[in-house]
Structure 1
Amino acid sequence: MAIDLHTHSTESDGTQSPEDVVAAAAQAGLDTLALTDHDTTRGWQPALAAASTYGVAVVPGIEISCQVRGISVHLLGYLHDPTEPALLAELERARESRRTRARRMVELIGHDMPLTWADVVAQAGVETTLGRPHIADAMVSKGLVADRNEAFERFLHASGRYHVGHYAPDPVRAVELVRAAGGVPVMAHPFAHQRGRVVADDVIERMAAAGLGGLEAHHRDHDAEAVVHAEQLAGRLGLFVTGSSDYHGTGKLNRLGEHTTAPEVLAQIEEQSSGRTTVARP
């Protein structure tokens, strides 16, 4: 079975609708995928409905943007209850902070280039979880840069003149919230050094003590050394290991199914969940 547990749609920073992500998964020969948009579950229903249409099992998921010691941490959550109040409140706080941050960044960029908030909203939509990729898309549409990569390399990187911080929960707290909502938390690309600073093992140890289920070891942004590190750390902490594409449509080079997860690991995720949310199988 080909299982990809990390994808994004237009509900966050992907370029395809949830239904089209499922259709693309079928075309790529996947048996199962998880939709894991940033800080939102808005894409679940259309993706779940598309499961039978395209013959692909869909795992409801999410990617929560966290931060510790000034370092960004991404936490994947699978099969949680999307109505659980504490998690829902934390996600809404993060979403609103992202929107405020994006608006401020656009204001700063607008001092130097012809870019407005309306340009960004036109790319992303009103209800989308807004982020820097949407600013990048607006810059592309205005002819200011050639693509998202150029936008990030020249203007939107974390040490750039237009960077603005935003609220993100501590990853240990996020792990606890996902577990309390009946879900299974997995740390995304934990040692992706090319993205910037990564956390030390002690942070992951604290996350594991709080209920972390696994590490996404097999990912495009992990070199061979990072994969070995993740696998060894997972073994020491009693965590399972996943592999995923982190697919964003045309927003990134990542291709569906370029890294996959073993069927027995998906079975572990289902066993560890409370059953309040289940995999949609065709």
Structure 2
Amino acid sequence: MCIDLHLHSTFSDGTATPEELVQMAAERNLGGIALTDHDTVDGIEPFMEAGKRHHVKTIAGIEISAQHRGFSLHILGYGLDTSCDSLHSWLDRVQQGRIERNRKILLKLRELGLKIEDRELDHFSFCGQTGRPHIARLLMEKGVVRTMDQAFSQYLRRGRPAWCARFAYTAAETISMIHEAGGVAVLAHPGQIDARIRIQPLLIRELVERGLDGLEVVYPGHGKKIQKELTRLAHRFDLLITGGSDYHGGNRPGSNLAGKDGFCPPYSLLAELERRLFAAATP
């Protein structure tokens, strides 16, 4: 039985609602799924409620952008207590960083000669969480580009003319916050990190020293060779192994939930995650 522990909804930069994700999982008979929206847990409540209605096992999660030694990382948190006040306060600062970056990007686009106003972006933000994929959609709507990929490659990706960095907590701070909220911290898609530090034992060791609990090994962008190396590192450092599709819907053409196109993270990964969460919650 397949699982999928990396999904995005309309509460960040996905195009499916939390309820639709659960329904899709039910139709594919997935053994369990996790909602891991970027820097927000606002979609967790409807997600968990939908799981009960459709009899799908659901895990409260998040994907947080962090930085380590000047490099950008994404850290997944699983099993979070979404009522944790300190988590919400912490995420408020992250959200403010997103707002500030959006304004800077739109300003740069105007400086490049594009007629684009801040208020136009609101139309593409369904639940208040707005980022570069929404700006890419706006550029498509205005006829500036034809595809999401063109928007990123021409304007929004690092090194392109409208690129802007944004505020991010350190990896250590991020892992600590996930633990404070009762969750476990997993490094997302390690094989996709900046090539200068990708899958290096030193990086993994440093993150383990800061409390990292696991690695996302089973991932569409990880070939067999990368998965083998990541599995070796996970065993070396006694880390949890997870897997997920990173599904974004229409905002990432070609992505799909697990259970199709041969992508099938095994249920055993979810069972081990649940054991780790239970152990963390046991005094």
TM-score (norm 1): 0.90
Shift of 1:275: 8.9
With over 3 angstroms needed to count, the CA separation of the structure-2 counterparts of 1:74 and 1:59, relative to structure 1, is same
> Which structure 2 residues correspond to residues 170-185 of structure 1 after superposition, within 5 A?
170-185=170-185
Q: Which residue pairs with 1:115 in the alignment? A: 116
Q: Which residue pairs with 2:245 in the alignment? A: 245
Q: Deviations 1:190-239 (Å, cap 9, x if unpaired)?
A: 1215x765454323212223332211112122233322221111110001
> Which structure 2 residues correspond to residues 130-169 of structure 1 after superposition, within 5 A?
130-169=130-169
Measure, in 2, the Cα distance between the counterparts of 1:105 and 1:141.
17
Code of the aligned partner of 2:208: A
Matched, 1:209 2:209: yes
With over 3 angstroms needed to count, the CA separation of the structure-2 counterparts of 1:17 and 1:122, relative to structure 1, is same
- Asked if structure 1 preserves the Cα contact closer than 8 Å seen for 2:156 and 2:162, the reply is yes
Measure, in 2, the Cα distance between the counterparts of 1:28 and 1:264.
17
Code of the aligned partner of 1:164: C
Shift of 1:72: 1.2
Shift of 1:242: 1.5
Matched, 1:44 2:12: no
Shift of 1:116: 1.9
Shift of 1:7: 0.1
- Stretch moving more, 34-43 or 213-222: 213-222
Q: Which residue pairs with 1:267 in the alignment? A: 271
- Asked if structure 2 preserves the Cα contact closer than 8 Å seen for 1:39 and 1:94, the reply is yes
Measure, in 1, the Cα distance between the counterparts of 2:104 and 2:12.
19
With over 3 angstroms needed to count, the CA separation of the structure-2 counterparts of 1:207 and 1:87, relative to structure 1, is farther
The alignment partner of 1:273 has SS state of helix
Q: Which structure would you say has the larger RCO, counting Cα contacts within 8 Å and 6 or more residues apart?
A: 1
TM-score (norm 2): 0.90
- Asked if structure 2 preserves the Cα contact closer than 8 Å seen for 1:120 and 1:135, the reply is yes
Measure, in 2, the Cα distance between the counterparts of 1:156 and 1:198.
23
Q: Deviations 1:76-119 (Å, cap 9, x if unpaired)?
A: 10111123343333221111101110111011112321222122
- Unmatched tracts of structure 2, length 5 or more: none
Measure, in 1, the Cα distance between the counterparts of 2:116 and 2:28.
36
- Asked if structure 2 preserves the Cα contact closer than 8 Å seen for 1:79 and 1:182, the reply is yes
With over 3 angstroms needed to count, the CA separation of the structure-2 counterparts of 1:217 and 1:211, relative to structure 1, is same
With over 3 angstroms needed to count, the CA separation of the structure-2 counterparts of 1:133 and 1:269, relative to structure 1, is same
With over 3 angstroms needed to count, the CA separation of the structure-2 counterparts of 1:233 and 1:155, relative to structure 1, is same
The alignment partner of 2:153 has SS state of helix
Measure, in 2, the Cα distance between the counterparts of 1:276 and 1:239.
14
Code of the aligned partner of 2:255: N
- Stretch moving more, 171-180 or 94-103: 171-180
Number of corresponding residues: 275
With over 3 angstroms needed to count, the CA separation of the structure-2 counterparts of 1:17 and 1:198, relative to structure 1, is farther
Measure, in 2, the Cα distance between the counterparts of 1:48 and 1:276.
21
Code of the aligned partner of 1:151: A
- Stretch moving more, 255-264 or 211-220: 255-264
Q: Which residue pairs with 1:222 in the alignment? A: 222
Code of the aligned partner of 1:262: P
RMSD between superposed Cα atoms in Å: 2.1
Q: Percent identity?
A: 34
- Unmatched tracts of structure 1, length 5 or more: 278-282
Measure, in 2, the Cα distance between the counterparts of 1:114 and 1:196.
36
Measure, in 2, the Cα distance between the counterparts of 1:250 and 1:79.
27
